[in-house]
Amino acid sequence: MKALLLVSELEDYTISLANGIARHLPVVLGVPRRQYAHLTSWFEPSVDVRLLDWPRHRSLANPGFLLRLTHLVRQERPSLIHLLSHNTLWLNFAAPFWRSAPLITTIHDVALHPGDAETRVLPRWCTDLIVRQSQHLIVHGFGLRRMALQRYAKRPDRVHVLPHPAIHRYADLARREAMVRRREDGTLNVLLFGRIFAYKGLELLIRAEAALGDALPHLRVTVAGRGDDPWAFRSVMGDPARYDIRNRYIDDKQVAQLFLDADIVVLPYTEASQSGVLNLAAAFGKPVIVTDVGELRDTVEPNGLGMVVPPGDPARLAQAIRLMADSEALRTQCATNARLWATGVNSPENVGSQAASIYRAVAEPRA
């Protein structure tokens, strides 16, 4: 059995998942050269990485690319094809020529996130069409499965749950580079990381900081990643001097340093499906505070990764930060649980085993 994985983005997710699956069966991975050429060293040798000249959506080179991609499919003769993202356009026109193998598509977000400008670049019909052409779908939680069954005309046995695997690349980088934690004595570092769009709850975190007042005099709030400008909320900040704002692309070493330095990682989202940031924080053994949206509660609470608060409630978020700050024992226990989760039940190898089981169930009826 051999799986062909295709994806044009989602580098960290792809590295974790492909490495995990390759522990259980042969994997051929087709990815854009421009995004993945510098990342090939992070793949296990057992992953057959194909760096493709994958055009951008508006390029006139796409028809030629689809011909080459279809040739790759016919040459490799995979048992199945797995699209690791549903944010596609041109692949819709190639899928009808791949019927020699069942097509699986991962739906990361059944509903669009408010304010997510990057996802909204593609018209909704593009994702809906690739879903219709896919024999099977994968989502990252049972709540998302219920949403997918409501939205898409798929039989229940064709929609599978596969967790988002832990992301170890940055923690591995920190160890490889012998990076060390940097902090001032007594400082509590709270980190909000990622694409900072409206649904990520930036305003909620800022209002929570203001609500804390002088209760945590050594509080430090770091907001790191491209997106909305945090200084637009300066008027509601309690103390602007507490903030470390990095509204830009964050390179790999900076990401590793940010998570090394963090005491708590916050995900105060107003809406979400799941979170790659949560899976990254777990690999560093960082306690989290999340809002009760999407799959976050069902991930955090059973595994003891941190605390859950209602969305849109800065007072409750402030209380959780205060409680976590005051209890070193709580932070230590959550950190231990996070490491165990990231290296155990949610490790790439374990999630890869679950993916391999889904693949066999999908491919065997064809065989």
pLDDT reported for residue 117? 52
131 with 201, same domain? no
45 with 27, same domain? yes
| CA-closest candidate to residue 244, choices 253, 261, 148 | 261
pLDDT reported for residue 113? 59
pLDDT reported for residue 118? 54
CA 184 vs CA 217, 244, 262: distances in Å: 13, 14, 12
pLDDT reported for residue 64? 95
146 with 179, same domain? no
57 with 137, same domain? yes
* 184, amino acid identity: E
- Describe the crossing of helices 11-21 and 169-176 by its angle, rounded to 10 degrees: 90
Provide the domain count of the chain: 2
179 with 146, same domain? no
pLDDT reported for residue 109? 87
10 with 65, same domain? yes
Residue 252, domain extent = 170-343
155 with 201, same domain? no
CATH number assigned to the domain comprising residue 54: 3.40.50.2000
117 with 25, same domain? yes
120 with 226, same domain? no
182 with 61, same domain? no
pLDDT reported for residue 87? 79
**pLDDT by 10s per residue, the chain, length 367:** 999 999 999 999 999 999 999 999 999 999 999 999 999 999 999 999 999 999 988 889 999 999 999 999 999 999 999 999 987 788 999 999 998 899 999 999 887 655 555 555 567 777 889 999 999 999 999 999 999 999 998 999 999 999 999 999 999 999 999 999 987 778 999 999 998 887 899 999 999 999 999 999 999 999 999 988 899 999 999 999 999 999 999 999 999 999 999 999 999 999 888 899 999 999 999 999 999 999 999 999 999 999 999 999 999 999 999 999 999 999 999 999 999 999 999 999 999 999 999 999 999 865 5
pLDDT reported for residue 153? 86
CA-to-CA distance for 364 and 77, rounded, in angstroms?
A: 15
Beta strand pairing status for 188-193 and 136-139? unpaired
pLDDT reported for residue 88? 77
148 with 234, same domain? no
> Taking the CB of residue 96, how many other CB atoms lie within 10 A of it?
10
pLDDT reported for residue 128? 87
* 252, amino acid identity: D
113 with 228, same domain? no
Predicted TM-score (pTM) of this structure: 0.92
In this structure, are residues 191 and 219 in contact, taking their beta carbons and an 8 Å threshold? no
